[in-house]
C-alpha cells in the first residue's frame, strides 16, 4: 500500500473516531445511554448502540459535509451488515429483543455539528 494511501486511511479513521465521540456526547445530551461502542461481529460493525427508554438505537455515524451526503453514503450492503450485526446484539440483550429497535444515522459535519436522523433505514432486507 502506498504511503499516501495509508496516511489517508489513518486520517479518515481519526476523523471517524472524532465524529463518533461527538455523536456520543450529542446523544447523551438527548437522554440516550451507551450500550456499546464499535460493536463488532462477523457480519459487520455498529458504531454506537444506545438506548433511551424502551427504544434501542443502532447508530451509524458518518462524517460528511451534509446530512444528505451521510444518508446517501449508507449503501444497501452496509445497511444489511449493520442489520445482521444488530440481530446478533439483540440476541445478547433481552431488553432490546423485546423492545423497540431502530436504525439511526448521525451525520457530523466539518464544524463538528451533529444531526440525528432516527429511523434512517430499515433493518429488513
- The answer to whether the beta carbons of residues 5 and 12 sit under 8 Å apart is no
Question: How high is the mean pLDDT of the chain?
Answer: 91
Sign of CA dihedral 40, 41, 44, 47: negative
Number of domains in the chain: 1
Tell me the per-residue pLDDT of 24-38, one tens digit each, with 9 for 90 and over: 999 999 999 999 999
The stretch 66-84 carries a mean pLDDT of 94
Residues forming a β-bridge with 55: 52, 100
Q: Domain span at residue 114?
A: 3-121
| Residue 58 near residue 99, CB atoms below 8 Å | no
Cell of 102: 431502530
Whichever domain contains 45, its CATH number is 3.40.1350.10
Whether residue 1 is predicted with pLDDT greater than 70 in this model: the reply is: no
Asked whether the predicted pLDDT for residue 3 surpasses 70, the reply is no
For residues 19 and 101, what is the distance between their CA atoms, to the nearest angstrom? 23
Amino acid at each position: 500500500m502506498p504511503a499516501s494511501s495509508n496516511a489517508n486511511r489513518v486520517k479518515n479513521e481519526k476523523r471517524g473516531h472524532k465524529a463518533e465521540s461527538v455523536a456520543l456526547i450529542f446523544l447523551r445530551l438527548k437522554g440516550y445511554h451507551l450500550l456499546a461502542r464499535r460493536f463488532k461481529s462477523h457480519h459487520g460493525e455498529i458504531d454506537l448502540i444506545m438506548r433511551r427508554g424502551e427504544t434501542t438505537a443502532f447508530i451509524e455515524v458518518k462524517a460528511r459535509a451534509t446530512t444528505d451526503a451521510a444518508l446517501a453514503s449508507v449503501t444497501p450492503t452496509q445497511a444489511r451488515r449493520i442489520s445482521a450485526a444488530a440481530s446478533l446484539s439483540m440476541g445478547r440483550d433481552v431488553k432490546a429483543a423485546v423492545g423497540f429497535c431502530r436504525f439511526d444515522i448521525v451525520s457530523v459535519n466539518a464544524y463538528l455539528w451533529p444531526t440525528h436522523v432516527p429511523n434512517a433505514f430499515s433493518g429488513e432486507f
